[in-house]
Amino acid sequence: MLKAKNKLGLVFFPAFDWAISPTHPEREERLLYTQDQVFEEGIADIEGIKFYNPGIATEKDVERVHFCVPDVKTRVTQSHLISAGGAIKAAEAVMEKEVDKAFAIVRPPGHHAQRVVFGDRGFCIINIEAVMLENIRQRFGNKKVAIVDTDCHHGDGTQDIYWNDKDTLYISFHQDGRTLYPGTGFIDEFGGPSAIGYNINIPLPPETGEEGFLYVLDNLVMPILEEYKPDLIINSAGQDNHYTDPITNMKFTAYGYAELTQRLNPDIAVLEGGYSIEGALPYVNLGIILAMAGLDYSHVREPDYDPEKLKQSPEITEYIKKLCDKIYKRWLRREDIRRETIKNQQYILRHRSIYYDTDGIHETQIQRFKVCPNCSGVNTIQSRSDWGVEIFAISIPRDACKACIDEGYNLYNKIAEGKYYKVYLQDRVNDVFMSK
Amino acid sequence: MGGTHVDAVIIDRGNIIDVVKTPTDHTNLFGSIWETLNHLLKGKDISSISHINLSTTISTNAIVEGKTAPVGMIIESGPGVEPSFLACGSENIFITGYVDHRGREIKSFKPEEIQEAVSKFKEKNIKACAVVAKFSVRKPIHEIEICKLLEDKFSPVTMGHTLSGRLNFPRRVYTSYLNSAVYFVFKSFCESIKKAMKKENINVPVNVLKADGGTISLDAGQQYPVNTILSGPAASVMGALAFNPDEKDGVFLDIGGTTTDISFVADGVPLFEPFGIKIGNYNTLVRAIYSVSIGLGGDSAIHVENGEIKIGPHREGPPMAIGGLVPTPSDAMIVLGLLDFGNKERAISAMRDLGEKLQLDAKATAELIYEKMGDIIKQEVNNILEEINSRPVYTVKELLYGKKLKPKYISLIGGPAKALAPLLEREFNLPCYVPENYEVANAIGAALAKTTAEVTLLADTAEGKLSVPEMGIYEKIGKDFTIDKAEQRALELLRELASAIGTSDKEFEGEITEKSSFNMVRGFYTCGKNIRVRAQIKPGLLYKLN
């Protein structure tokens, strides 16, 4: 019988009775063949691998991260709460030391869900990693965490949520935003005033292959992680960099994903996107499971794997080397860049325009961050959807000083009822959420 | 048939007519059965027998004692988990072809690999083989082709896909291996039975019990003897079920000398292992009643460690009341007047000696042990229940509203059952039943068992294929095939299978246990349906006991 080197918790919840719509990529069938592969390989019989059912995230879990308009109940289905609950279950098993590592193979995904939620974008309504992480922080203390997002799309939701939080380093590899949804994730998106340098985007050219991904990991991501020294590494394990994915243009492989996972060595992985449900997901998920369990993944290969066809061009190799170099230099200069950006400003504004592709909503935002010498600073979002709804949200961060807490509550109390459709206050110091 | 005794019972409808118990002769298992049967049938009207059901340890013993035939394994592992851990035969040949999860042949095997296998098997004088391929239940073409190449040179040649329709390649390998390994020993047992029956002029169907608490005809069983392993605990559960035939959730405890076996019924139906039973180091696909054995029984050794009583998990001999050297729970229950055998004075002195280390008198020590036994059982049962109730589910509906097992009663058999019933009743706050005749519960269970079978149907309308691996059925279907048709077809095929393995049409009662249908979308269009149905003969008993 096989024995895992690392005790691994698996939350495998394919939600076989839920779809966005019958022919949508995010449909019942998505993890069917992955389940077949996982069952056929006898993963459940490997000593040291334990399967868990997901829990169900609560409204409070969601409110630590999001401002759902008008409220959580209206926006979020049971399926979303279970997906986030699956991620929480995985993290909990690691935090309680029942297992060394955990992988939540759950759906729907979450990394496009931003702080304000008017609807579904990029198949996401709530950010399952963020809901997981804030639940864990609430129960196990304020961990220093790195989220490494290996989905092919830029995780603009996770970026927005942790924009101003330097205790959460967000690193995203993705296909260049000039060529793919959501069109963001450029290297100058570098973090909010209190966390400049702690949001690292690595926009890769189409056709990047195993060589490129592993180069980025070894030469950029790992050195940054070594300097950052996180307590926990979370992998947003999207699988759409695969060469068979129908909606992206990369050349990554199942073996490559396994190798990347082994080198990155995450504590927790959470499935994100990936819609090559027959040609990629069964093999990529298997590869990640084996790599996390510390088992041999050298036999994981797709049926049509052809190393010659999947080789990236020398131009791409060269481009990626230069890109990594440039990003790493920026990372080293982050303190200088922070000084240059902030100068003497007390508040920093950020204007944003957000499109909800799945629900066809357009949102405009003004985010306002207080530059506080004692904490990350209270911040606000004034947001309007093209359906004519305007809201105002105040967020008091986990490390807020007394002055910022007071400023947050004063703001909330001062706004007259009726001025906005909804006003929200998220107080992460006292774990309080209110709205009017 | 058990490790110590062979039990036999004649039942007429729901009435027990006669009961016989004889010691097992380990050197002659067939002889033990036949002798017991002779006892039982003495003076009875043989012509009124309708059928004989046997539960035998023949295959189990062969495996546990390592007295199996050498097996040559041909394993087609395809890409995935590194396969070397699957080498379970005397010779193991790993070959290169493969079929994917949809049942598409990606790569054929090389004939020279099979030639190599043949010569290696012959070199080692191996007669029994097994051929197992990853995803062979989706498309068995490689197993069938290789079997054809081996058939005239080796026997048996077990093909993995014929044993179970379930997905689990390592278990398929081990199950196929075991099937070939016990084939001869079981076959010779069957032949002895048939010969003896002929001699005695008994001409009725003989069925053998399987680990799922159902039966299969002797002839059908001979082909797949692996299904007869570990039928003993299953027989006991079915027997206990005969005494408690209501449709509630319950716990079944079989408290023996060395171990306590724990099983469950859900809505009156025995709970099964999720994938299949484990024997020795082998996880298998053999359908089986769920049973957990813990090291706690009437003869468990009791020691005092760090000022605390420790019971089990080992037996170090009989109770002191009948000449043992180590105190046991039976000694404690003798002191408390709950059991009555052996020398009570010696039981009291056993408790007194233990008590000295705890500064308690003999009676208080006996009470402490008795209570502790209840605690251990309760804790174990609750742990197992928690595990069962958190078995993985895959739909939102099951997660939110799925069945949770909540026992409403406890059924207790075994030597100390009566003595422990009042204690467990109190500990669990549930009614505890100890059936009369529980000494032969296993024989009653075997006698009342129905024929059981399961079929796994997968219909892929995009590929235009329908498969039922257990029956070797791979047929074409049209685009318009639906889940209703799939259910209907599964039940039809189940009926066919049932009649081939011993069920009369009249008795047949099939049910669908799992069903799902997925829209398959490629690009933006629905290209077909992936339909999965599992059907089984409704498990249960032929008759209730009166």
- CB contacts < 8 A (A, B): 119
Instruction: Verify that A427 and A328 share a domain, yes or no.
Output: no
Which of B80, B391, B521 lies at the smallest CB-CB distance from A299? B80
Instruction: Verify that A276 and A395 share a domain, yes or no.
Output: no
List chain B residues with CB under 8 Å of A13: 394, 399
Dig out the tokens for B249 from the structure.
């959730």
Q: Residue A401: helix, strand or coil by DSSP?
A: coil
According to DSSP, the β-strands at B91-95 and A390-396 are unpaired
A42–B102 CB contact, under 8 Å: no
Q: Suggest the residue from A27, A41, A51 to mutate for an interface test with chain B (most B CBs closer than 10 A).
A: A41
Locate the chain A residue with the closest alpha carbon to B87. A1
pLDDT (0 to 100) of residue A144: 97
Cα(B255)–Cα(B253) distance, integer angstroms? 6
**Within a domain: A185:** yes
For residues B180 and B164, the answer to whether their CB atoms sit within 8 Å is no
SS3 of chain B: helix, strand, coil, percent, to 5: 40, 25, 35
- Read off the DSSP letter of residue B449: B
Instruction: Verify that A328 and A349 share a domain, yes or no.
Output: no
Which of A334, A360, A380 finishes a domain? Answer: A334
pLDDT (0 to 100) of residue B34: 86
A37–B80 CB contact, under 8 Å: yes
Instruction: Verify that A326 and A349 share a domain, yes or no.
Output: no
Which residues pair with residue A121 across a beta bridge? A124
- Cis preceding-peptide flag for B83 (omega within 30 of 0): no
Which of the four pLDDT bands, split at 50, 70 and 90, describes residue A42? very high
- Cis preceding-peptide flag for B270 (omega within 30 of 0): no
Instruction: Verify that A97 and A205 share a domain, yes or no.
Output: yes
Amino acid, single-letter form, for residue A155 = G
pLDDT (0 to 100) of residue A222: 98
Amino acid, single-letter form, for residue B245 = P
B168–A40 CB contact, under 8 Å: yes
B519–A29 CB contact, under 8 Å: yes
For residues B217 and B258, the answer to whether their CB atoms sit within 8 Å is no
Distance (Å) from the alpha carbon of A185 to chain B's nearest alpha carbon:
27
For residues A270 and A236, the answer to whether their CB atoms sit within 8 Å is yes
Cα(B541)–Cα(B546) distance, integer angstroms? 13
Distance (Å) from the alpha carbon of B472 to chain A's nearest alpha carbon:
19
Domain that holds residue A9: 3-334
User: Which residue out of A112, A153, A154, A174 is catalytically annotated?
Assistant: A112
Instruction: Verify that A297 and A372 share a domain, yes or no.
Output: no
pLDDT (0 to 100) of residue B197: 86
Q: Suggest the residue from B77, B521, B525 to mutate for an interface test with chain A (most A CBs closer than 10 A).
A: B521
Residue A306's Cβ-count burial label (10 Å; 0-12, 13-18, 19+) is exposed
Q: Suggest the residue from A39, A40, A79, A81 to mutate for an interface test with chain B (most B CBs closer than 10 A).
A: A40
A45–B525 CB contact, under 8 Å: no
**Within a domain: A116:** yes
For residues B179 and B224, the answer to whether their CB atoms sit within 8 Å is yes
pLDDT (0 to 100) of residue A319: 98
**Within a domain: A69:** yes
Distance (Å) from the alpha carbon of B134 to chain A's nearest alpha carbon:
7
For residues A92 and A136, the answer to whether their CB atoms sit within 8 Å is yes
Residue B471 falls in which region: left (phi positive, over 0), alpha (psi -120 to 50) or beta: alpha
- Give the pTM: 0.95
List chain B residues with CB under 8 Å of A301: 79
Which of the four pLDDT bands, split at 50, 70 and 90, describes residue A54? very high
pLDDT in tens, A85-113: 999 999 999 999 999 999 999 999 999 99
Which of A312, A334, A356 finishes a domain? Answer: A334
For residues A416 and A397, the answer to whether their CB atoms sit within 8 Å is no
**Within a domain: A340:** no
**Within a domain: A339:** no
Is ipTM over 0.90?
A: yes
pLDDT (0 to 100) of residue B57: 85
A264: pLDDT strictly greater than 90: yes
Instruction: Verify that A64 and A167 share a domain, yes or no.
Output: yes
Q: Residue B407's CB: how many other CB atoms inside 10 A?
A: 18
Which of B79, B516, B519 lies at the smallest CB-CB distance from A301? B79
pLDDT (0 to 100) of residue B41: 87
Contacts of B444 (CB under 8 A, 6+ apart): B9, B11, B16, B238, B239, B242, B437, B545
pLDDT (0 to 100) of residue B136: 97
pLDDT (0 to 100) of residue A274: 94
A23–B395 CB contact, under 8 Å: no
pLDDT tens, chain B, 546 aa long: 776 788 899 999 889 999 998 888 878 888 888 888 888 888 888 888 999 999 988 899 889 888 899 999 999 999 999 999 999 999 999 999 999 999 999 999 999 999 999 999 999 999 999 999 999 999 999 999 999 999 999 999 999 999 999 999 999 999 999 999 999 999 999 998 898 888 888 899 999 999 999 999 998 899 999 999 999 889 999 998 988 778 899 999 999 888 999 999 999 999 999 999 999 899 999 999 999 999 999 999 999 999 899 998 999 999 999 999 999 999 999 999 999 999 999 999 999 999 999 999 999 999 999 999 999 999 999 999 999 999 999 999 999 999 999 999 999 998 899 999 999 999 999 999 998 888 888 899 999 999 999 999 999 999 999 999 999 999 999 999 999 999 999 999 999 999 998 887 778 899 999 999 999 988 778 899 999 999 999 888 888 887
Cα(B536)–Cα(B166) distance, integer angstroms? 13
Dig out the tokens for B10 from the structure.
């004649």
A15–B281 CB contact, under 8 Å: no
**H helices within A229-333, ranges in order?**
254-264, 281-293, 314-332
Which of the four pLDDT bands, split at 50, 70 and 90, describes residue A115? very high
B168–A39 CB contact, under 8 Å: yes
Locate the chain A residue with the closest alpha carbon to B530. A29
pLDDT (0 to 100) of residue B503: 80
Task: Give percent above pLDDT 70 in chain A.
Answer: 100
Cα(A405)–Cα(A413) distance, integer angstroms? 12
pLDDT (0 to 100) of residue A79: 95
Instruction: Verify that A30 and A167 share a domain, yes or no.
Output: yes
For residues A281 and A30, the answer to whether their CB atoms sit within 8 Å is yes
pLDDT (0 to 100) of residue A398: 96
**Within a domain: A186:** yes
pLDDT (0 to 100) of residue A233: 98
Distance (Å) from the alpha carbon of B102 to chain A's nearest alpha carbon:
8
Instruction: Verify that A314 and A385 share a domain, yes or no.
Output: no
Locate the chain B residue with the closest alpha carbon to A296. B82
- Read off the DSSP letter of residue A251: B
Distance (Å) from the alpha carbon of A1 to chain B's nearest alpha carbon:
7
pLDDT (0 to 100) of residue A417: 84
Residue range A47-54: average pLDDT?
97
User: Is residue A112 among the annotated active site residues?
Assistant: yes
Instruction: Verify that A218 and A274 share a domain, yes or no.
Output: yes
Which of A13, A23, A45 lies at the smallest CB-CB distance from B394? A13
pLDDT (0 to 100) of residue B103: 93
Which residues pair with residue B415 across a beta bridge? none
Which of A334, A366, A382 finishes a domain? Answer: A334
B283–A1 CB contact, under 8 Å: yes
pLDDT (0 to 100) of residue A123: 92
pLDDT (0 to 100) of residue B438: 83
Instruction: Verify that A203 and A302 share a domain, yes or no.
Output: yes
pLDDT in tens, A169-205: 999 999 999 999 999 999 999 999 999 999 999 999 9
Dig out the tokens for B3 from the structure.
């490790």
Instruction: Verify that A388 and A260 share a domain, yes or no.
Output: no
For residues A55 and A13, the answer to whether their CB atoms sit within 8 Å is no
Give the domain CATH number at A218.
Answer: 3.40.800.20
Q: Residue with structure tokens 């991260």?
A: A65
Mean per-residue pLDDT of chain A: 96
Which of B100, B168, B526 lies at the smallest CB-CB distance from A42? B168
Q: Residue with structure tokens 């909010």?
A: A192
Query: Radius of gyration over alpha carbons of chain A, in Å?
Result: 21
Query: How many domains are there within chain A?
Result: 2
The domains located in chain B, with CATH, are: 50-229 (no CATH), 244-296+374-447 (3.30.420.40), 305-370 (no CATH), 454-537 (no CATH)
pLDDT (0 to 100) of residue B159: 97
